[in-house]
Amino acid sequence: MTQGHIRVGTLLLCCALAVLSWRVASWAATTAAPPGDAERGRALFMGEKAFKNGGAPCMACHSVAGVGALGGGMMGPDLTTGYARFRNYVTYPPRTLPPMKAIFSAHPLTPQEEADLTAFFRAASVTRRSTASLVWLSGLALAGGLTLLLTFQLIWRRRLRGVRKPLLLARR
């Protein structure tokens, strides 16, 4: 066999593998548990709707785009791109990663809840932060900036008076 033959063979093998894994992936997607409801998933994520087995709402530790102006908790990573990276496994980490494992092995998510959460993450990975929450964030940033400016203005004034007054008095 020449090198060219080997190269063509490798190429064909790669194509076959790619097609096979794509078939398996789409088969897994179509046979995946019950259909999820993004709106119910959002309510579960935010804790508006309690988990059947009493697990803590994901938002206690995570944030996702468009959920509240300041997002959710800061302990866990932002899950906005979670679906893009984990697909249907986005609801698998709670069972396996340390801080969540303690909670969610004692209070497991039901298959329906996992499906709902997955649908919510899928929607969130598309919408990103909503315009409304961006407007809120800019408003908050502006208010914070103004507060800082006013505070410094006050401090600065007092300092100027403290320095300039004695100097002016001394010149007279």
Site of interaction with ligand HEC (CB under 6 A):
56, 58, 60-62, 75-77, 79, 82, 86, 90-91, 93-94, 97-100, 103, 109, 117
Q: What's the closest the beta carbon of residue 117 comes to ligand HEC, in angstroms?
A: 5
Q: What's the closest the beta carbon of residue 164 comes to ligand HEC, in angstroms?
A: 53
Query: Whose Cβ is closer to ligand HEC: residue 32's or residue 136's?
Result: 32
Query: Whose Cβ is closer to ligand HEC: residue 77's or residue 166's?
Result: 77
* Helical axes 111-127 vs 38-46, angle rounded to 10°: 100
- Specify the DSSP class assigned to residue 51: -
Helix locations, 71-130, DSSP H: 82-86, 93-96, 98-106, 111-127
Query: Whose Cβ is closer to ligand HEC: residue 50's or residue 135's?
Result: 50
Two structure tokens written together for 10: 């490798």
Two structure tokens written together for 72: 């959710």
